[in-house]
Structure 1
Amino acid sequence: MSHELMFFGGFLIFIALMLAIDLGLFSKGDKPVSLKTAAIMSAVWVLFSLGFYWLLRQYGFELHNIQDLNHLQEVITKHHHDIKIIPGDLAASLAVYNNNLGLEYLTGYVVEYALSVDNIFVMVLLFTSFGIPEKYYHKVLVWGILGAIVMRFLFIFLGATLIAQFGWILYVFGAFLVFTGVKMFINRNQEEEVDPQNHPVVKFASKYFKVTPKLDGGHFFHIENGVKYMTPLFLVLLVIEFTDLIFAVDSIPAIFSVTKDPYVVFFSNIFAILGLRSMFFLLVNIIHKFQYLKVGLAFLLVFIGLKMLLHHWLAEVGFTTTHSLIVIIGILALSIIASLLFPKHKEISQ
């Protein structure tokens, strides 16, 4: 077994254990997740994410089992890291590599975490539109995140394969992200609506499967006269998975602008979406207060897209991962500060 698979397997085992603890301690019974519980779990996932950053800073070279300068150069070239080895000094070169790997992971994590906030807007809308009681939110999100992990795995390693085979696809990703960012900015004030009956996923499910409009407690399926029916709880889960699939089309190329190492992309992606469930319950009642967040995310996508399009030129002028992280955090901070300083006031009808 390769070192990469061992590292990857260890990561998955750790995530599985933490997820099991999360579910066991905080998901007992069908009851709403309290703000306190959400805050605790959000903090725990952020701490673990930062702990993994420290791990990469110290032992990142173990991921690809780098033993000498030649192998290090091969890894740097393969994954397009914007760093140079120090001739004749393996220890110093590994320190530079580990530092860069950690920064790439952290930047990717921040990007994914930020874009996940936009996903919260959509999930709140979906739960409301489908009439799902708050006490069932956590169950849907748990299964939704498990499905998201599988999809991200497939998307990320497929994307890495495409990039390795067709380098020009990065320009396609970049142009797409710029387009998405501009579109998000133009539609920033547009009210999103969901019609459950006419949603393509619901229409597909209704056409090929038995569907009931009635909830059956916290069950995804309802059995009546020996016939199994999908409940609205399962339908909203399907729609959330479909939404995450679309969301991944934006977020995964965005992280590939930061690093081309598929393992680092996967690590940062998974830590971010695992924190999404807790963050949902933390922000669900205040998310509307950050009215400029969509503007910030729009600029973020445009910046990332331009970074992909201008990658070679930026590398020549010395634009590093650290600079990207500063710009990304700056954009997000400005959008949050603007939302707090200039809150949107509801119009009072005369």
Structure 2
Amino acid sequence: MDSSFLTHELLFFGGFLIFIALMLAIDLGLFSKKNEAISFKAAAIMSTVWVTFALIFYVILRIWGNELHNIQDFETLVAITEKHMHNIQLIPDDLAASLRIYNNNLALEYLTGYVVEYALSVDNIFVMVLIFSSFGVDPKYYHRVLVWGIMGALIFRFIFIFLGAALISRFDWILYVFGIFLVYTGIMMFIKRNEEETMDPQENKIVRFASKHFSVTPNFIGDHFFHNIDGKRFITPLFLVLLMIESTDIIFAVDSIPAIFSVTQDPYIVFFSNIFAILGLRSMFFLLVNVIHKFHYLKAGLAFLLVFIGAKMLLHTPLESIGFTTSHSLIVIVTILAGSIILSLLFPKKEPSKPAKK
């Protein structure tokens, strides 16, 4: 069973990576032919495309999810269910019905993880906007930085997710550490939700480290990350921006990946949901960059979301005993996010009044 089990996982996973590589190539080809600011219309189209593919993958898991781990008999189904701690009730005398229950739950875990990751990505957009504005980056170069930023994010997410899964399988108490961390992060986010975020590139540790160990051109050189002057290799300020974006995503992943592990302990489902959300992040950035300030209650909503997810990790056993399922988690998560968006639109933030001219 072990060899076929691993073969099926690798085939399923390999097929997913090939599909993502093809779609990413098409996406980058559409967006990266020339340096120009991405229009709202183009961002809306690509956001719709990525969300549509994410939902199609949900349907695939719902129909063929058991193929991921090559589940063909009831014993294997029970073993996988226990291994990944799926909160479902199987029917011993009915394999077909049990597989439907498993597939439906697997797809729902994926969808819930996707919503969580996509929602938390919005907080990352706040920081990205701050980085671009603090460095004075021309909007027509945003997409080039985000292209390479997402490439790096895919690699780091792969490492973090499967390392996290290995740790959880070996030390299940780590889930409680994740839970405490998420509750703390959510509380701190709520406390600081109204603080004005500023960034001085000259004081940033990453910028200072790079400036100390590499020669940096004083100005941007178009869309180049590197530039040769008199035979000497320089990095440009745009490369510093890329380093900032990458470091931000690593910090962001420390919150978001444990959050999805609260939904499912299947590392493949964590990876699938994470990657679809990350791939949609770039188009969502261009979609929200000019309006994100209008959703001023979103920070509070994300704070409540992190606290809920952390509490769910800490209270997993008692919640399971009262019948709290993945469906309930999805309802709570969507309610929190929708509520914060609706409140932002119903009660817009008051702009500071300008002093009257004399």
- Which of 105, 112, 119 is the equivalent residue of 2:124? 119
Q: Which runs of 4+ in 1 moved over 4 A?
A: none
In 2, Cα distance between the equivalents of 1:212 and 1:181?
A: 39
Cα distance, 1:131 vs structure 2: 1.1
In 1, Cα distance between the equivalents of 2:256 and 2:30?
A: 30
In 1, Cα distance between the equivalents of 2:238 and 2:221?
A: 9
| Equivalent residues in 2 for 1:209-288, closer than 5 Å | 209-288=214-293
Match of 2:59 in 1: 54
Q: CA RMSD in A?
A: 0.7
Letter of the 1:214 counterpart = N
- Which of 138, 143, 159 is the equivalent residue of 1:138? 143
In 2, Cα distance between the equivalents of 1:40 and 1:317?
A: 42
Corresponding pairs, count: 350
Match of 1:8 in 2: 13
Letter of the 2:319 counterpart = L
Task: For residue 85 of structure 2, give the secondary structure of its aligned residue in structure 1.
Answer: coil
- Which of 49, 65, 69 is the equivalent residue of 1:64? 69
In 2, Cα distance between the equivalents of 1:285 and 1:299?
A: 25
In 1, Cα distance between the equivalents of 2:31 and 2:135?
A: 24
| Equivalent residues in 2 for 1:142-221, closer than 5 Å | 142-221=147-226
In 2, Cα distance between the equivalents of 1:219 and 1:147?
A: 17
Cα distance, 1:174 vs structure 2: 0.2
Cα distance, 1:193 vs structure 2: 1.0
In 1, Cα distance between the equivalents of 2:16 and 2:205?
A: 36
In 1, Cα distance between the equivalents of 2:37 and 2:241?
A: 17
Match of 2:310 in 1: 305
Task: For residue 31 of structure 1, give the secondary structure of its aligned residue in structure 2.
Answer: coil
Structure 1's unaligned 5+ residue stretches are none
Letter of the 1:272 counterpart = A
In 2, Cα distance between the equivalents of 1:115 and 1:325?
A: 14
Cα distance, 1:26 vs structure 2: 2.3
Letter of the 1:200 counterpart = K
Structure 2's unaligned 5+ residue stretches are 1-5
Cα distance, 1:118 vs structure 2: 0.7
Cα distance, 1:208 vs structure 2: 1.2
| Equivalent residues in 2 for 1:308-347, closer than 5 Å | 308-347=313-352
| Equivalent residues in 2 for 1:43-122, closer than 5 Å | 43-122=48-127
TM-score normalized with structure 1 length: 0.99
Deviation track 1:136-183 (CA, whole Å, cap 9, x = no partner) reads: 000000100010000000000000001001010100000000000000
Deviation track 1:311-335 (CA, whole Å, cap 9, x = no partner) reads: 0000000000000000000000000
Letter of the 1:240 counterpart = I
Task: For residue 189 of structure 1, give the secondary structure of its aligned residue in structure 2.
Answer: coil
Letter of the 2:93 counterpart = G
Letter of the 1:301 counterpart = L
- Is the contact between residue 65 and residue 107 of structure 2 (CA under 8 Å) also seen in structure 1? yes
Cα distance, 1:84 vs structure 2: 2.0
- Is the contact between residue 114 and residue 276 of structure 2 (CA under 8 Å) also seen in structure 1? yes
In 1, Cα distance between the equivalents of 2:231 and 2:34?
A: 26
In 2, Cα distance between the equivalents of 1:10 and 1:54?
A: 16
Task: For residue 63 of structure 1, give the secondary structure of its aligned residue in structure 2.
Answer: helix
In 1, Cα distance between the equivalents of 2:264 and 2:307?
A: 17
Deviation track 1:255-290 (CA, whole Å, cap 9, x = no partner) reads: 000000000000000000100000000000000000
- Is the contact between residue 31 and residue 143 of structure 2 (CA under 8 Å) also seen in structure 1? no
Shifted more, 212-221 versus 312-321: the winner is: 212-221
Task: For residue 210 of structure 1, give the secondary structure of its aligned residue in structure 2.
Answer: coil
TM-score normalized with structure 2 length: 0.97
In 2, Cα distance between the equivalents of 1:122 and 1:63?
A: 36
Task: For residue 233 of structure 2, give the secondary structure of its aligned residue in structure 1.
Answer: strand
Cα distance, 1:85 vs structure 2: 1.4
Cα distance, 1:300 vs structure 2: 0.1
Cα distance, 1:209 vs structure 2: 1.3
